[in-house]
Amino acid sequence: MSADGGTQGGETRIIRTDYLARVEGEGAMYVRLDGRTVEDVKLRIYEPPRFFEAFLRGRAFTEAPDLTARICGICPVAYQMSAVRAMEDACGVTIDEGPLRDLRRLLYCGEWIESHSLHVYMLHAPDFLGYPGAVEMARDHAGIVEQGLQMKKAGNALMAVVGGREVHPINVRVGGFYKAPTRVQLRTLLEPLERARETALATVGWAAELPFPEVERTPELLALSDPDPGSYPIDRGRIRSDAGLDIAPGEFDEHVVEEHVEHSNALHARLRERGSYLTGPLARYGLSHAQLRPLAREAAGEAGLGPLCTNPFQSIVVRAVELVQASDEALALIEAYEEPDAPAVEVTPRRAVGHGATEAPRGLLYHRYEIDEDGTILDARIVPPTSQNQLAIEEDLRAVVERDLDLPDEQLSLRCEQAIRNHDPCISCATHFLELTVERG
């Protein structure tokens, strides 16, 4: 925090957090104010780059799900799903119905439940209730933290049965799975998932009562849209936005550009000639509210949430609605499950380019691969949700700072951090990505 001479507008004020807490990975925040003017806002991603696209070159197409899972320990299933869809697209195979697709969706529901429970209860809720973390929060709200942990555990149990383990599941392959779970195995999950659904419903009501700063933001919302009108987007669909974008995943490259900026080890994505956009729960909810399962839609309504949520601080309520959605859908998928004849379909490589886009808990995850006729990966491009959201997050930050300019530094800084956590950034994913510093001028 320094006051530099030579400015006319007043003194320079800097708000910064060098090590953001309760986000996945390492980032920082930096805001510089000149008097009452916000001069600069940066979400800095300083976590070192890991070069996945580079070392995917020369690997076998079948290795992509296991290799790219290691981009993120919080949402490995998202990486595996976008990877297998892209490879199947390249090889001319579609798994859009039947038990294999149901199993994929089921596994994905497990990751949504695990990731959203983690974020709602352990990363985000402490902001609203004034604790540094869930462990401290548990001293006063043991029951709430405990139920969040049990819901998280149900998501993990689902991933462990279908995927083999919670972090970096081993059962996903191009073409399907290595081994399909039995009906009996899946039915062991009914009871914990029913409890998780109850908890999720209670969470919607609880989250809706949290104290929210009144902030309205209307970024362009972008998410997948499932072709089935009764299906909330998770694993397939066209990419749509509320400003009229409507493209196939294969056209993503033409519409989204990524640029490398000095303050971040993540690439910043923007829509060509349109600028920033937001992906994630707020976008999915805003675009596919009508496709929520009735139970989730009712829960949202009862919590007073309209079909569009414009206050990013209320994303915690939307996540809770998605927890209802994911647990309710998981239960339905298990009830209807018929064991497949074979755990995977044959996928023969050919020289082609394939695209895959699915909805990670924190937003759209796009993969594109070019493979050779023997299946060797020639080129890879991966666009994680957090790089897509980085600009929108910085815009949120700017809006929050402008609104709460009169708060003392410490409180403003907390408010800014909270504005970042609203979007559950996953920095490990984005590095290809985050650090915040606020300079006041």
Partner 1 sequence: MSADSNQTPAKQTSAKQTLAVWKFSSCDGCQLSLLDCEDELLALADRLRIAYFLEATSAVAEGPYDISIVEGSITTPHDAERIREVRRQSRTLITIGACATAGGIQALRNFGDVAEFTSIVYASPDFISTLSTSTPISAHVPVDFELNGCPINKVQLLEVIGAHLAGRRPRVRGHSVCVECKRRGTVCVMVAHGTPCLGPVTHAGCGAICPAYDRGCYGCFGPMESPNTAALSARMAELGSEEIDLVRVYRTFNAGSAAFREASEAHEHEPAGGAPA
CB closer to partner 1 out of 282 and 430? 430
SS3 at position 263: coil
Min dist CB 52 to partner 1, Å, is: 7
Which contiguous run of DSSP H or E holds residue 393?
Answer: helix 385-403
Which residue number, 66 or 220, has a Cβ lying nearer to partner 1?
Answer: 66
Closest approach of Cβ 122 to partner 1, in Å? 6
Residue 157 or 224 with smaller CB distance to partner 1 = 157
Q: How many CB atoms lie within 10 A of CB 385?
A: 28
**What's the min distance (Å) between Cβ of 175 and partner 1?**
13
Q: Could you tell me the smallest distance in angstroms from the CB atom of residue 331 to partner 1?
A: 20
CB of 55 to partner 1, least distance (A): 4
Q: Which is nearer to partner 1, 148 or 441 (CB)?
A: 148
The number of C-alpha atoms within 13 Å of 262 and in the hemisphere containing its C-beta is: 0
Question: What distance in Å separates the CA atoms of residue 439 and residue 43, rounded to the nearest whole number?
Answer: 13
Distances in whole angstroms, Cα of residue 438 to Cα of each of 13, 100, 136, 276, 441: 7, 48, 27, 21, 10
Instruction: Report in angstroms how near the CB of residue 433 gets to partner 1 at its nearest.
Output: 11
Q: Which two tokens stand for residue 134?
A: 């869930």
CA distance 7 to 13: 12
Taking the C-alpha atoms of residue 115 and residue 362, their distance in angstroms, rounded to an integer, is 9
Q: In the complex with partner 1, which residue's Cβ is closer, 135 or 290?
A: 135
- Asked if residue 410 lies in contact with residue 3, where contact means CB atoms within 8 angstroms, the answer is no
Closest to 400 in 3D by CA, of 31, 81, 65, 93:
31
Identity of the residue, 113 or 296, whose beta carbon is nearer to partner 1 in the bound complex:
113
Record the tokens describing residue 187, joined without a space. 């039915």
